Amino acid sequence: MIPHTYSDEGIILARRNYGEADRIIPIYSKSYGKITFIAKGIRRPESKKRGHLEIFTCVRFSAAKGKSMDILTEVETLNSFELVRNDLKKVSLAYYFMEVIGKITHDGEPHSEIYYLLVKYLNRLETEPKLKSLRMNFISELLVNLGFWPRGKIITDPDKLLEEVLERKLYSVRVGKEIIQ
């Protein structure tokens, strides 16, 4: 059970505008799994949190329980993965990682191994030249860690297994397969 106010580290999976100045921000946290927050007033130009809430940024955050969604109260950037942001192919693969994690996990299911897996692959993405094999390894490790595939057994077609697990197509599948060859 999550306390009334809490702090943790996490990776921002997505963001979408809500109302006039707010944003809904799903974060995959180390201790609590995926949590969906509302960031009040984040779209105002004078907002101090604005620059910290970019997709695939690793952050330390504080939050308070809300009626329907928890409210982000403080955010500090731990790693913005600048080297990834400077390369279009790497950015598209990072977005693919975020979409996969966002769709395969559910709110409130803690799984610290997934958090560390995501951090590991974002760090590797900064220097890895072979993006296709990095993507395949990410999918394979994710499916094994979540229990969809037995540890030690080789997955012949990770993309097909991922689609079966998700039971729907990924929006960024074109990015994941075609751009990164």
Name which residue leads in pLDDT, 164 or 177: 164
Q: What is the mean pLDDT of residues 118-138?
A: 93
131 in Cβ contact with 93 (< 8 Å): yes
Q: For residue 14, give Cα distances in angstroms to 5, 48, 95, 100, 137.
A: 22, 19, 9, 11, 22
Mean pLDDT on 162-180: 65
* DSSP letters for 18-77: ETTTEEEEEEEETTTEEEEEEETTTTSTT-SSGGG--TT-EEEEEEE--SSSEEEEEEEE
Residue 145 vs residue 50, higher pLDDT: 145
Residues 102, 86: Cα–Cα separation, whole Å = 23
pLDDT at residue 7 greater than cutoff 60: yes
pLDDT at 166: 84
Task: Say what the pTM is.
Answer: 0.87
CATH 2.40.50.140 is right for the domain spanning 5-79: yes
| CB-count exposure of residue 103 (10 Å: 0-12, 13-18, 19+) | middle
Amino acid at 86: N
**Residue 181, strand partner residues:** none
Instruction: Give the pLDDT of residue 151.
Output: 87
Is the Cβ–Cβ distance between 37 and 5 less than 8 Å? no
The CATH 2.40.50.140 domain(s) of the chain lie at 5-79
Q: What is the pLDDT of residues 101-118, one digit of tens each?
A: 999 999 889 999 999 999
